[in-house]
Amino acid sequence: MIKIRIRKEIEKKKYLLLAILSFVVIIALWTLASVTGAVDEIFLPNPAKVIQYYISAIQDGSLWENTRISLYRILLGFVIAVVLGIPVGILMGTFQKAEAVIRPLCEFIRYMPVPAFVPLIMVWVGIGENAKITVIFIGTFFQLVLMVADDALSVPDDLINAGYTLGTTTPMTIFKIIIPAMLPRLMETLRMMIGWAWTYLVSAELVAANSGLGYTILKSQRFLATDAIFGGIILIGILGLITDRIFAFLNKKLFPWAEGGH
Amino acid sequence: MGLFKKKTVLPKRTQHIEANLANSKIHVKNVKKIYHSAKGDTLAMDNVNLNVLENEFVCIVGPSGCGKSTLLRMVAGLDEISDGEIIIQDHSIIGPGADRGMVFQAYTLFPWMTVADNIKFGLKIRKIPNDEQDAIVDKYLKVIKLEKFRNSYPKELSGGMKQRVAIARALANSPEVLLMDEPFSALDPQTKADMQLLMRQIWQVEKPTVLFVTHDIEEAVFLSSKIYVLTSRPGTVKKEIPVYLPYDRDLSLKDTEAFIKLRKEVNSLIDHEQI
Ligand SMILES: Nc1ncnc2c1ncn2[C@@H]1O[C@H](COP(=O)(O)OP(=O)(O)OP(=O)(O)O)[C@@H](O)[C@H]1O
Ligand SMILES: [Mg+2]
């Protein structure tokens, strides 16, 4: 008898419960480890201390201020990457000539470590807001182009051919068939990319910053203020999760026709 | 099936007579197809000649890999011709166009459009006036008996329903010729038989010129006015067989002696691979 079946669907409630449980268990383990003194406070701060840190950061307004500026940097870097990356990606996924020009370049650049670009970026665009936005942009753009191209390539040939036999020209085929057909996957790609953008925040705020969530973490490092480091990391995680959920929700609402969706 | 109850006044003998012999719709002349790949060149088809007359329902049968799909795609303009010429009506084809509608083996409805919008797609592209578009959509929804699914999305349809919509979408565009590449091969036997009957009835009423690829010989005999049997690769026409069967057909035809005899004759012409 097989009791545990592969890919067996579970109820939504059960799913949510298990998800919450995994967080609860981790927080419980964390509390246990720090309260009993099993792990030194320098390595692992007391959860109560992290909460205290949040309270004081909310009170002096720095939490909101840092979140706001970081959100601004991420969104701007991300939006520029999206606005430029989507057309380039579609071009690359549609015409092999464009692919030959773009793909090798993107594959080459995307393996370069973004933090290593930081000093260069400071030379190129200065140390103002542009520098932080540029880091987020570089971190996401090349990956995005490759993923958008794959989304465009995933549109079945016969869907395109069906369009041709119904009278579409090549530009019509791109705008009336390829783009609508790839939209659900494209939104999934954007959802993943905004996640990547969040992970580049700390690198971005390495650049002569004096505000932002990433900057707060870097600054706290110097004073070994583990409670602030933890607080910052967890906050970035929460904000990332929220943006992710917003995209997932939009996907479901915008593309009810998509196959395989629940 | 009331919709198709003999509204048309057509001679009841064989459809061969109805076809206007002077009027060739598809003329394939000495066509050759070579596929170039890293492993070398493959001669897929050579010296193919065939003729589809106006209002004819022509089936192409042949062993797997003999180039049936390739031939259809070349007629559609989706694959390049290596040598020779394909003439539609009176012009040599250079690429795909709305004059050659196609129904594919895979499901190719646009998933983001409703059934009605799928059928309307070609009409919009061709800038047909709106009220005419609606009338055409209504007509073909009725032909395929899916009026109730007008506003459904393809993911809500069964395989047979999807193919019916694909047929309606192609026909609504009133192409010169309708190309079909094994459109029913993914369906279960019962649905397949229903689809064959529907297709035959549509043809009897609308009289589109059809070039239909299948490897199901029974299907070919049931549907067509003429069958071309191709040889194994490199594919070429082995025999042209006129189908002298009654014009009004239903599924009981498949049990008649004349049908079985013809089916066996076609079957004996297909090259069978040594396994
Ligand atoms: N893109 C391609 N590159 C190389 N060879 C190809 C390509 N497409 C088809 N062929 C070859 O051309 C021949 C004809 O293929 P085709 O798909 O037209 O056959 P078919 O008669 O439709 O077969 P089936 O009954 O299996 O659908 C096959 O032998 C196949 O291997
Ligand atoms: Mg085939």
Ligand 1 pocket member B200 (CB < 6 A)? no
* CB < 8 Å & 24+ apart, contacts of B41-46: B43/B233, B43/B234, B44/B70, B44/B233, B44/B234, B44/B235, B45/B70, B45/B71, B45/B233, B45/B234, B45/B235, B45/B236, B46/B234, B46/B235, B46/B236
Counted across chains A and B, CB pairs separated by less than 8 A come out at 72
pLDDT at position B22: 61
Kindly report the protein residue whose alpha carbon is nearest to atom 16 of ligand 1: B67
pLDDT tens per residue across span A179-229: 999 999 999 999 999 988 998 988 888 777 889 998 998 888 888 888 899
Q: What is the pLDDT of residues A62-102, one digit of tens each?
A: 999 999 999 999 999 999 999 999 999 999 999 999 999 99
| Residue A258 C-alpha, separation from nearest chain B C-alpha, in angstroms | 7
Q: What's the pLDDT score for residue B4? A: 45
Q: For ligand 1, is residue B69 a contact (CB within 6 Å)?
A: yes
Q: Which residues of B touch A (CB under 8 A)?
A: 76-78, 95-98, 100-102, 104, 106, 108, 110-113, 121-122, 125-126, 153-155, 166, 169-170, 173, 175, 179
Amino acid symbol at B231: T
CA angle A220, A224, A227 (to 5 degrees): 70
Interface of A with B in 147-186 (CB under 8 A): 156, 158-159, 161-168, 172, 176-177, 180-181, 183
Antiparallel, parallel or unpaired: β B209-213 and B57-61:
parallel
At A138-158, the pLDDT tens digits run 999 999 999 999 999 999 999
Token match 């009336």: residue? A176
B75 near B229, Cβ under 8 Å? no
Q: Say what the pLDDT of residue B13 is.
A: 37
pLDDT of the residue at A56: 92
C-beta of B274 in contact with ligand 1 (< 6 A): no
Q: Which two tokens stand for residue B154?
A: 């393809």
| CB contact (8 A) between residue B111 and residue A259 | yes
pLDDT band (50, 70, 90) for residue A119? confident
Residue A164's pLDDT is: 96
Work out whether the CA dihedral B18, B250, B59, B180 comes out positive or negative. Answer: positive
Query: Angle B112-B72-B44 (CA atoms, 0-180°, nearest 5)?
Result: 125
- 3-state secondary structure at position B239: strand
Q: How far is CA A254 from CA A91, A188, B258, B260, in A?
A: 24, 12, 56, 53
Is B101's C-beta closer than 6 angstroms to any atom of ligand 1? Answer: no
How many angstroms separate the CA atoms of A103 and A93, rounded?
10
CA of B166 to nearest chain A CA: how many angstroms apart? 9
Write the pLDDT tens digit of every residue in B133-151: 999 999 999 999 999 999 9
By the 8 A CB rule, do B88 and B65 touch? no
**Residue A191 to residue A80: CA distance in whole angstroms:** 15
Mutation choice for B interface testing from A154, A161, A166 by most B CBs within 10 A: A166
For residue B83, give every residue at least 6 positions away whose Cβ sits within 8 Å of its Cβ, in sequence order, or none. B30, B31, B32
Residue B273 DSSP label: P
A254 has pLDDT over 70: yes
Contacts of range A127-131, beta carbons closer than 8 Å, 24 or more positions apart: A127/A207, A127/A208, A129/A73, A131/A204, A131/A207, A131/A208
pLDDT in tens, A8-43: 888 999 999 999 999 999 999 998 988 888 888 888
Query: What's the whole-number average pLDDT of chain A?
Result: 90
Query: Looking at beta carbons, which residues of chain B come within 8 Å of A168?
Result: 125
Determine the distance separating the centroid of ligand 2 and the alpha carbon of B213, expressed in angstroms: 8
Residue A261 has pLDDT above 50, yes or no: no
Residues 6+ positions from A210 with CB-CB distance below 8 Å: none
Tokens of A157: 């040939």
Share of chain A above pLDDT 70, in %: 98
CB A45 within 8 A of CB A223: no
Task: Give how far Cα A241 sits from Cα of A68, A106, A238, B180, B263, Å.
Answer: 16, 28, 5, 48, 64
Residue B216 beta carbon below 6 angstroms from any ligand 1 atom: no
Predicted local distance difference test score (pLDDT) of residue B7: 41
Contact B65 CB / ligand 1 (< 6 Å): yes
The helix (run of H) or strand (run of E) holding residue A165 is helix A157-165
Q: How far is CA A210 from the centre of its chain?
A: 23
Give the DSSP letter of residue B274. Answer: P
Which residues are paired to B40 by β-bridges?
B37
Best CA proximity match to B201, nearest among B147, B144, B119, B150: B144
Distance separating alpha carbons of residues A14 and B115, to the nearest angstrom: 36
A-chain residue closest to B127, CA distance: A167
How is B27-88 classified by DSSP, letter by letter? EEEEEEEEEEETTEEEEEEEEEEEEEETT-EEEEE-STTSSHHHHHHHHHTSS--SEEEEEE
Which of A155, A165, A186 would you mutate first to test chain B, the one with the most B CBs within 10 A?
A165
CB B228 within 8 Å of CB B60 = yes
Look-up of token digits 């041709």: A164
Question: Residue B181 carries which DSSP code?
Answer: E
The per-residue pLDDT for B34 is: 93
Which residues are CB-contacts of A46 (< 8 A; sequence separation ≥ 6)?
A31, A34, A35, A227
What does the alpha-carbon distance between residue A87 and residue A182 come to, in Å, rounded to a whole number?
Answer: 13
Q: Answer whether B62's CB lies under 8 Å from B68's CB.
A: yes
Structure tokens at A170: 């090549």
The answer, yes or no, to whether any atom of ligand 1 lies below 6 A from the CB of B14, is no
Of the candidates A257, A179, A178, the residue with the CA atom closest to the CA atom of residue B157: A257
- Residue B20 amino acid letter: N
Q: If you measure CA to CA, which chain A residue comes closest to B109?
A: A159
Low-confidence ranges of chain B (pLDDT < 50): 1-21
Can you name the residues that pair with A38 across neighbouring β-strands? none
Q: What value does the mean pLDDT take over residues A125-138? A: 90
